[in-house]
Amino acid sequence: MTKVINFAHRGAAGHCPENTMIAFKRALELGATGIETDVQMTKDGHPVLIHDETLHRTAGSPEWVKDVTLAELSTKEAGSWFHEDYCGERIPTLEQLLELVEPRDTIINLELKNGVVQYPGLESKVIDMVRRFGLSERVIISSFNHYSLVECKRIAPEIRTGILYMEGLYEPWEYAKRIGADALHAFQYAVIPEFVAAASEQGIPYHPFTVNERAEMQALIRAGVGGIITDYPDRLAELLTAEGG
């Protein structure tokens, strides 16, 4: 059986406040072999790790990420919304995450959040930092903005890209080949064994999201997916051990 990548969605988001350093560290402790996170950019051009375009939900502040500087962002508290035990957690930079994983063999899935907000130069900023850390072979860049994925391949053909989509994309493995993408990051219910087999024949793995129930994880493992994106990397680690994958 091909080794399945255990991608911790926004870190161990089922256990810790999402997209924080404590969530990333906890994910590794729980057996994650990959980390999935979201990249946006501050007003002064620093790539930072946060899912929403505004700070409202996780930092209790009305500003948009694009409208604050890194210095301003660093003052925002982003843990207590999840639980008081995490009061004081901050919104990390991409650099902080890459420093954490550099000495390990962890795969990093960087989702570029450039749909609602178009961040000029986000692709090149992210790629430059990945290259600076020497992590090109361990990074997958994904996005719902497929124009952005094409741009990433133009800049850095050596870095893998993954097509994010929901459902109903016809023969997505053919579409992936057309835009030079390397993986299919599909909503979990858009993945069935026949699709996995057809994509595998073209050398394109599925990395479905966001899979939290053990039965669904097990079905996808047995279908032959290349990775699973989950809020609970501990659950997936247990299953992979049992399945020998």
- Alpha helix locations (H) across the chain? 21-29, 56-59, 70-73, 94-101, 122-132, 146-155, 172-179, 193-201, 214-223, 233-243
Pairing of strands 5-9, 160-165: unpaired
Residues labelled as active-site residues: 9, 51
Neighbours of 215 (CB within 10 A): 9
Q: Is-contact 228 184, C-beta < 8 A?
A: no
- With tokens 């050398």, the residue in question is 203
